[in-house]
């Protein structure tokens, strides 16, 4: 069962926004156990991580999280000028770690209408770098991830597209947690990279030591279940705060 605060918030058909994320009732409901997470909630969680994902502080400027809607545009449209304009505010050419949620939707009319989410991330190393792919259902999205890597590579300042490497990760035990896995991996990567940058700056760690080959196996199905609860709590708190700030309508006596 959802937390009481989340249940109360679900009864309202209100909207609140955080950065580029607009949250509607259907998005709030999608956080409940057994539901397929909407793309708006993934966007919301990425926005929340930008402000809180570094031990409760904003992420370092070198870490970028790209919204599902932006990547849908990159993947399905061909106008290079418009793609460049949509990515320019993200400053991806100077980012060292870039997280890219992958959806297998093929519908140009309905972004997020696919059946599976995975996470592609890019780690910059000098003038080059590597793409890594995390998929909680084998490598179900590997073809889409490779196409996305090829489309976005020029906008990362790369002269050629690096190969996409699969990374070991936990596998979902149901048909609905793929989006939550994406959010959990993004949170883990952001936090670990922030810690590593601090250690590198202090001379206590080499730059490449931050991500052992099987490190993402630390994110388990149990962690995903706990993240759903935490997402619900964060959304309920922000929704309640919005309600408190909303102007009250005078009542006639």
The answer to whether the CB of 181 falls within 8 A of the CB of 219 is: yes
pTM for the full model?
0.88
What's the pLDDT score for residue 244? Answer: 78
Name the nearest CA neighbour of 93 among 65, 62, 117, 52. Answer: 62
**Cα torsion angle, 176, 179, 184, 185, sign:** positive
Angle between helices 142-152 and 68-76 (to 10 degrees): 80
What's the pLDDT score for residue 250? Answer: 57
Distance CA 183, CA 44 (A): 10
The answer to whether the CB of 131 falls within 8 A of the CB of 141 is: no
Q: Which residues, given as ranges, of the chain have pLDDT below 50?
A: 1-4, 8-12, 14, 253
Q: How far is CA 42 from CA 7, 18, 53, 69, 144, in A?
A: 20, 12, 14, 10, 18
What's the pLDDT score for residue 10? Answer: 47
Three-class SS state of 169: coil
What's the pLDDT score for residue 106? Answer: 80
Name the nearest CA neighbour of 41 among 75, 68, 11. Answer: 68
Reading the block at residue 238, the tokens are 């922000």
Name the nearest CA neighbour of 23 among 240, 247, 246. Answer: 240
Distance CA 213, CA 164 (A): 14
End-to-end CA distance of the chain: 40
What's the pLDDT score for residue 14? Answer: 45
What's the pLDDT score for residue 212? Answer: 82
**Cα torsion angle, 68, 59, 170, 226, sign:** negative
The answer to whether the CB of 79 falls within 8 A of the CB of 71 is: no
What's the pLDDT score for residue 214? Answer: 86
What's the pLDDT score for residue 2? Answer: 44
Percent of the chain at pLDDT exceeding 70:
86
Name the nearest CA neighbour of 76 among 161, 158, 144. Answer: 144
Radius of gyration of the chain, Cα coordinates, nearest whole angstrom: 19
């Amino acid at each position: 069962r959802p937390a009481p605060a989340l249940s109360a918030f679900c009864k309202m058909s209100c909207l609140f926004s955080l950065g580029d994320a607009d949250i509607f009732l259907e998005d709030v409901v999608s956080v409940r156990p057994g539901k397929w997470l909407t793309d708006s909630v993934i966007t919301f969680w990425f926005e929340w991580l930008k402000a809180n994902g570094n031990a409760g502080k904003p992420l370092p400027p070198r870490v970028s999280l790209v919204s599902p809607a932006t990547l849908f545009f990159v993947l399905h449209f061909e106008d290079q000028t418009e793609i460049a304009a949509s990515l320019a505010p993200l400053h991806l050419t100077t980012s060292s770690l870039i997280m890219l949620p992958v959806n297998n939707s093929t519908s140009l009319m309905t972004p997020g209408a696919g059946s599976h989410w995975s996470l592609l991330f890019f780690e910059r190393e000098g003038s080059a770098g590597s793409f890594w792919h995390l998929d909680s259902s084998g490598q179900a999205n590997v073809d889409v991830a490779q196409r996305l890597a090829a489309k976005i590579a020029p906008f990362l300042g790369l002269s050629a597209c690096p190969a996409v490497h699969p990374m070991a990760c936990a596998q979902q035990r149901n048909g609905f947690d793929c989006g939550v896995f994406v959010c959990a991996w993004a949170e883990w990567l952001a936090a670990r990279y922030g810690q590593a940058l601090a250690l590198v700056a202090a001379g206590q760690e080499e730059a490449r030591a931050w991500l052992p080959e099987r490190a993402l196996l630390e994110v388990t199905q149990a962690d995903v279940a706990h993240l759903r609860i935490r997402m619900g709590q964060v959304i309920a708190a922000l929704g309640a705060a919005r309600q408190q700030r909303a102007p009250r309508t005078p009542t006639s006596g």
